[in-house]
A and B are shown apart, each in its own frame.
Chain A
């Protein structure tokens, strides 16, 4: 009898719990698939005091921490400068920092915390596409703002994100133009890490190549962070006889790739490699002697000759030591703080809707040169720079586009890209 009773009570309790849980129902999704706006959380940003909070969300631990720590530093530098200069709308910026731990779920969790608990007016950070994809629904459902500072694969344009790195038509396509027009390349071998950025980049490259009569002689992928297959890939690259290699490898795979590349006797003269994920910070890790003369495509190098960059590099070295180098994502992060400041001041308000409405046309004389926000797709117009690694491990500009290129994340302005699969949510 006691046994029976106990079971009975346990079952009743759990059943009651389940029923209680399922009766608390909120709004359903309507036919168009859009969630009703009524259920959205209200913003809790407090702008009544003489300071306003912003969030910095970067990976300070895990595999991405080396790269993202540099972004954190340039964000902090920008905030310091803004505060020393009187703040934004007369309010000092109060920074709340969070660690994304190189983990998409942690990015989503911490972004929610920054928005809902810390009530920040904007969040700056993220690096990998997976971290951005994880945060995107958080920012959209809370109607908050994220400033994302890294070049990426495009085909996205959320109204709650400002993308201050390059999209593909500001990096990949100018790089292809350069290879075709300046180096006379007629055949390409594609090498990349196996994830969304290289896959998308190579889809774009193949569409471009078909249009412009460039032959793609090989396409190889290596799992992210792996080096096992690099030897085979380098052998295939050598055997393919391509005019040049388009390299979208990321991280440690590059170290192995360029080591093997030198081993089999290839160099920038024999077969140039154009890389889109190697910046100043990565050069020493791969080896200056192995990279010297090879090409990169970015929108900023430490050697860029503008007065703003001179100040930026000097301020950065003063804060973090003479050995510190500056790179494209760091500059894009630094710029993002100033662009947000510009938008808030143009709007005269910290409110997300006001900032979004005022964003179009907001400009900044960035270290890379003048940049302007596009209010439709939330990317920024920026100048494309092709560089070559020099003997000191820095990168010299060898070619630049005629002024800033308007961002076109969905590649709507390119007829040859019309047949490509695109994300219908944004494109």
Chain B
């Protein structure tokens, strides 16, 4: 009982500290430019929170979150373009096009746009997830599939010059649901929205992880066949986490658009999809706060370092990723545990210490014979 109370107090104080930093300290201490940058990082961190759930708790290496990030972002961008163009107007970039595509009209209304940002990625993730997990595709096969979907999405966008601006993407937004984006007060409001949404997402994942569902998700990660024998359907368990991760990515993308002012295929392809992942891996994918803090730290380091030493960050980022994956699969957060573990006597079973994911887990689940994908067994490729 005392342990529960202590946990409750630390959780509460955690939220308090986050709220004080994000809503109190940051807006006071940071210049408009730095605050905008932080807002941008918060959007990326939203994707990371989702990856933390799907990959950290659920063992699904989602290498293609750019797909969902892009869906949310493009729906928001289409809505903003249409509201700039006014009733019945069409966006300025369609100079070489013929007419407004019918599916643009769906997102002219602010309500349908917001619904679309959540429903379209959720539906797609549901279909993709059911198709993939029902067939018991997992591990590296799932990772490759998800990455390919992001690559295909980016290619599709590039080929759609007349409907989504091709490689230029969509940009030059003037308003966000009626509020002028050139006004610093409104830009600050966008930051507050991003901060609030991020805290809400972390709280949601916290609840999910503590619930029965969270236990089940971790169980599926650690022994999918055993969960199946207990009478649960692991595919459904995984699909839910995958859908939640997709929606978080989409909301991050949707807020990214008014904050950054542009969305283009280079934000949704393979490279940004891996970029989302690096912060999660570095921060510790199986912990609650690891993905958020890791993502924010990586974004901040990338921005600061490349401001000072051009192109150095790309190499450092690669090196950091390799080092973490090779020597510290639990992320920086597990450094202490890893050191303690080393000091312990040899032969000690690597303990499943305080809960989710011991530091020594492999990057991709699905190594042993029990975990070979169904497709491989039935002779498919």
Instruction: Say whether B95 contacts A421, CB under 8 Å.
Output: yes
Q: Measured between C-beta atoms, what is the minimum distance from A200 to chain B in Å? A: 6
Instruction: Say whether B314 contacts A14, CB under 8 Å.
Output: no
> CA separation between A18 and B94, bound complex, in Å?
36
A223 within 8 A of B: yes
A391 within 8 A of B: no
Chain B residue with the shortest CB-CB distance to A201: B96
List, in ascending order, chain A residues with CB within 8 A of B207's CB: 7, 10
Q: Measured between C-beta atoms, what is the minimum distance from B317 to chain A in Å? A: 11
List, in ascending order, chain A residues with CB within 8 A of B172's CB: 133, 136-137
A203 within 8 A of B: yes
Instruction: Say whether B311 contacts A60, CB under 8 Å.
Output: yes
B152 within 8 A of A: no
Q: Measured between C-beta atoms, what is the minimum distance from A116 to chain B in Å? A: 4
Instruction: Say whether A13 contacts B19, CB under 8 Å.
Output: yes
List, in ascending order, chain A residues with CB within 8 A of B195's CB: 17, 21
Q: Measured between C-beta atoms, what is the minimum distance from B243 to chain A in Å? A: 21
> CA separation between A28 and B177, bound complex, in Å?
9
Interface size grouping (class) on chain B: 35 or more
Instruction: Say whether A199 contacts B161, CB under 8 Å.
Output: yes
List, in ascending order, chain B residues with CB within 8 A of A108's CB: 260-262
Interface size grouping (class) on chain A: 35 or more
Instruction: Say whether A17 contacts B196, CB under 8 Å.
Output: yes
Chain A residue with the shortest CB-CB distance to B203: A10
Most buried by B among A6, A97, A224: A6
List, in ascending order, chain B residues with CB within 8 A of A40's CB: 182-183
Contact partner of B158 (CB less than 8 A), chosen from A65, A223, A422, is A223
A263 within 8 A of B: no
List, in ascending order, chain B residues with CB within 8 A of A10's CB: 11-12, 15, 203, 206-207
List, in ascending order, chain B residues with CB within 8 A of A218's CB: none
Given contacts A14-B196, A26-B185, A109-B260, A104 and B33 within 8 Å (CB-CB): no
Residues 175-199 of chain B: 1 if any A CB is under 8 Å from the residue's CB, otherwise 0?
1001111111111110011011101
Q: Measured between C-beta atoms, what is the minimum distance from A370 to chain B in Å? A: 31
B 244-264 contacts with A by CB, 8 A: 260-262, 264
Contacting chain B: which of A31-39, A238-246, A380-388? A31-39
Contact partner of B5 (CB less than 8 A), chosen from A2, A101, A195, is A2
Most buried by A among B37, B84, B96: B96
Q: Measured between C-beta atoms, what is the minimum distance from B29 to chain A in Å? A: 14
List, in ascending order, chain A residues with CB within 8 A of B16's CB: 13
A155 within 8 A of B: yes
Contact partner of A194 (CB less than 8 A), chosen from B32, B158, B197, is B158
B40 within 8 A of A: yes
Chain A residue with the shortest CB-CB distance to B197: A18
Contact partner of A112 (CB less than 8 A), chosen from B15, B36, B306, B307, is B36
Contact partner of B184 (CB less than 8 A), chosen from A14, A39, A102, is A39
A425 within 8 A of B: yes
> CA separation between A423 and B19, bound complex, in Å?
44
> CA separation between A378 and B167, bound complex, in Å?
25
Instruction: Say whether A39 contacts B185, CB under 8 Å.
Output: yes
List, in ascending order, chain A residues with CB within 8 A of B174's CB: 29, 33-35, 137
Chain B interface SS verdict (over half)? helix
Contact partner of A14 (CB less than 8 A), chosen from B33, B168, B203, B303, is B203
List, in ascending order, chain A residues with CB within 8 A of B22's CB: 17
Residues 7-18 of chain B: 1 if any A CB is under 8 Å from the residue's CB, otherwise 0?
010011001100
List, in ascending order, chain A residues with CB within 8 A of B199's CB: 13-14, 17
> CA separation between A23 and B184, bound complex, in Å?
14
A 95-119 contacts with B by CB, 8 A: 97-99, 101-105, 108-110, 112-113, 116-117
Instruction: Say whether B31 contacts A109, CB under 8 Å.
Output: no
Instruction: Say whether B171 contacts A133, CB under 8 Å.
Output: yes
> CA separation between A117 and B35, bound complex, in Å?
12
Instruction: Say whether B166 contacts A196, CB under 8 Å.
Output: yes
Instruction: Say whether A104 contacts B171, CB under 8 Å.
Output: yes
Q: Measured between C-beta atoms, what is the minimum distance from B268 to chain A in Å? A: 11
A294 within 8 A of B: no
Contact partner of B31 (CB less than 8 A), chosen from A18, A104, A116, is A116
B109 within 8 A of A: no
List, in ascending order, chain B residues with CB within 8 A of A33's CB: 84, 86, 174-175
Instruction: Say whether B96 contacts A421, CB under 8 Å.
Output: yes
Instruction: Say whether A35 contacts B311, CB under 8 Å.
Output: no
B339 within 8 A of A: no
B112 within 8 A of A: no
A 257-277 contacts with B by CB, 8 A: none
> CA separation between A2 and B314, bound complex, in Å?
47
Contact partner of A116 (CB less than 8 A), chosen from B32, B162, B169, B267, is B32
A27 within 8 A of B: yes
Q: Measured between C-beta atoms, what is the minimum distance from A397 to chain B in Å? A: 31
A61 within 8 A of B: yes
> CA separation between A214 and B22, bound complex, in Å?
63
> CA separation between A230 and B92, bound complex, in Å?
31
B155 within 8 A of A: yes
Instruction: Say whether A141 contacts B168, CB under 8 Å.
Output: no
Instruction: Say whether B168 contacts A196, CB under 8 Å.
Output: yes
Contact partner of A113 (CB less than 8 A), chosen from B95, B159, B187, B307, is B307
Contact partner of A422 (CB less than 8 A), chosen from B36, B95, B167, B173, is B95
> CA separation between A6 and B31, bound complex, in Å?
34
B343 within 8 A of A: no
Contact partner of B8 (CB less than 8 A), chosen from A5, A60, A425, is A5
A41 within 8 A of B: yes
B348 within 8 A of A: no
> CA separation between A203 and B161, bound complex, in Å?
13
> CA separation between A116 and B23, bound complex, in Å?
22
B 267-304 contacts with A by CB, 8 A: 267, 303
List, in ascending order, chain B residues with CB within 8 A of A97's CB: 310
Q: Measured between C-beta atoms, what is the minimum distance from B209 to chain A in Å? A: 13
Instruction: Say whether A35 contacts B8, CB under 8 Å.
Output: no
Contact partner of B180 (CB less than 8 A), chosen from A27, A98, A103, A117, is A27
Residues 311-354 of chain A: 1 if any B CB is under 8 Å from the residue's CB, otherwise 0?
00000000000000000000000000000000000000000000
Q: Measured between C-beta atoms, what is the minimum distance from A167 to chain B in Å? A: 14
Residues 34-49 of chain B: 1 if any A CB is under 8 Å from the residue's CB, otherwise 0?
1011001000000000
| 5 intermolecular pairs with C-beta atoms under 8 Å apart | A10-B15, A26-B185, A39-B180, A39-B184, A133-B169
Name the 8 nearest CB pairs between A and B, nearest first: A26-B185, A21-B192, A39-B183, A61-B311, A35-B180, A141-B182, A26-B183, A26-B186
Residue numbers of A with Cβ under 8 A of B are 2, 5-7, 9-11, 13-14, 17-18, 20-22, 24-29, 33-36, 38-41, 60-61, 65, 97-99, 101-105, 108-110, 112-113, 116-117, 129-130, 133-134, 136-138, 140-141, 155, 194-196, 199-200, 203, 223-224, 420-425
